[in-house]
Amino acid sequence: MKRIGCFHAHYSNIEHIDKALQAFDAELVHFVDPGLDRIKMDADFTQETVEKKVMETLAWIASCHVDAILITCTFFTAVFDAEHHRFPIPVIKIDEPLFEAICQVNQPVVVAFTNPNTVTGTMNQLFAYASKRGKEVDAKPVLLENTFELIMQGRKSEYIRLVAERLIQFTAENPGKYLAAAQLSMVPAAQIAQNRTNLAVGNHLESLADYLKELLNLEVRKEH
């Protein structure tokens, strides 16, 4: 059985990962640190603060007898550069399966965010990912303002409802464009929007299971 350490910025992400990987014979060990997002508006808050804390936590998780690390927060993935930070186990960014899906789309892409602090970093990573694969993506971000505060306050149902409404509205106003939800917390809303519009709305869980199965050689859980 593979053991995967999952690094979250909010407890609400745990259920999404548990559900996505429930079919596999894997143990998920969850590590949650909401602190960085809570202090991001402090006057002395810097990018160095984020990087130092994220790298310290990744080193701690790596020491806890796990076979791989999955970073589920786009705020955290933005500061992790696999070219400069080496670990003895794979470190997987939640964005990677979604980036791969976007690279396969042959139409303009709009990447929707709720957390303003993840926009620049995630878009930079998307273009870098596409470039490494020799792909050109026509992608632009859109921020769903005044939504992220709801999930951070534990108002999950309100968050999902509002984000779903905004996504549905956006698909109606932008025909011919592929819409992708950029954060794990947006998955339920993206699924609602997809069901109501019958249009594909990209999200992290669409391809995460297959991506990790191939990368980590996960085996399907046997029924007892």
Comparing 56-60, 67-71, 210-214, the range with the smallest average pLDDT is: 210-214
Q: CB–CB of 139/178 below 8 Å?
A: no
Contact 68, 90 (CB under 8 A): yes
Count the helices and strands in the chain (H runs, E runs).
Answer: 10, 8
Instruction: Check if 2-93+207-216 and 96-204 are the same fold.
Output: yes
SS3 60: helix
The per-residue pLDDT for 126 is 94
pLDDT of residue 4: 97
Kindly report which listed range (76-85, 96-105, 130-139, 213-222) carries the lowest average pLDDT score.
Answer: 76-85
Q: Average per-residue pLDDT in the chain? A: 91
Report the topology of domain 96-204. Rossmann fold (3.40.50)
Q: What is the DSSP string of 127-165?
A: HHHHHHTT----EEEEE-TT-HHHHHTT-HHHHHHHHHH
The SS3 assignment for 212 reads helix
User: Which residue would you say has higher pLDDT here, 86 or 172?
Assistant: 172
Nearest to 34, CA basis, from 214, 213, 185, 182 = 185
- pLDDT of 78 reads 81
- pTM for this model (two decimals): 0.79
Provide CB contacts within 8 A for 106, sequence distance 6+: none
Strands 68-71 and 26-32: unpaired
Helix (H) or strand (E) holding 127: helix 119-132
In terms of pLDDT, which residue wins out, 99 or 45?
Answer: 99
What pLDDT is recorded for position 77? 86
- Look at residue 191 in the predicted model and tell me its pLDDT: 94
Indicate the domain borders of the chain. 2-93+207-216, 96-204
Lowest-pLDDT range, 98-102, 133-137, 205-209?
205-209
- How confident is the model over 12-21, as a mean pLDDT? 90
For 67-110, write each residue's pLDDT tens digit.
Answer: 999 999 888 888 887 777 788 899 999 888 899 989 999 999 99
Query: Which residues on neighbouring strands pair with residue 69, listed in sequence order?
Result: 5, 91
Determine contact, residues 26/218, Cβ cutoff 8 Å: yes
Please state, as a whole number, how many other Cβ atoms lie within 10 Å of the Cβ of residue 115. Answer: 24
CA-to-CA dists, residue 213 to 49, 116, 143, 181, angstroms? 33, 31, 31, 22
Nearest 5 degrees, angle CA 53-CA 56-CA 60?
135
Pick among 3.90.1580.10, 3.20.20.70, 3.40.50.1860, 3.40.50.300: CATH of 2-93+207-216: 3.40.50.1860
Mean pLDDT confidence for 132-148: 94
- Cα(202)–Cα(184) distance, rounded to whole angstroms? 11
pLDDT at 224 over 50: no
